[in-house]
Amino acid sequence: MKNIMLVCSAGMSTSLLVTKMQKAAESRNIEADIFAVSASEVDNTMEKKSIDVLLLGPQVRYMKAKFETKLKSKNIPIDSINMQDYGLMNGEKVLEHALNLIDNK
């Protein structure tokens, strides 16, 4: 099971992308828990759930350094979602990016 957390400003704008990523995972027979939270919910969510990768929506990519500091000791990869993939809601490409980050940690 892969646990993929997407972070955006309000936790709602990424919900469509989450749905598309879930469909892409299902079509590839990949067990994944893909969910979105707001930036303010990250710490609380990480206390409750095991996370394999954290992807930042383009609107919160400026927070990457802050999250890198928090996640370094936990060995959780973090990156921003490609703006074009986000805009096109390309669940397949974003899922592939998340899986590559997990595999290369």
At 34-63, the pLDDT tens digits run 999 999 999 999 999 999 999 999 999 999
| Cβ count within 10 A of residue 100 | 13
Kindly report the CATH number assigned to the domain that includes residue 25: 3.40.50.2300
- Residue-number span of the structural domain to which 14 is assigned: 2-103
Query: Distance between CA 33 and CA 102 in Å, rounded?
Result: 13
Q: pTM, whole model, 2 decimals? A: 0.94
In this prediction, residues 12-20 reach a mean pLDDT of 88
For 97, list phi and psi in degrees, rounded to 5.
Answer: -65, -45
pLDDT tops 90 at residue 105: no
Q: Which of 4, 5, 6, 8 is catalytic?
A: 8
Looking at the chain, the whole-number percentage of residues with pLDDT higher than 70 is 98
- The label of the residue with tokens 């969910």 reads 35
Q: Is 8 a catalytic residue?
A: yes
Q: Which residues pair with 38 in a beta bridge?
A: 8
Domain count, the chain: 1
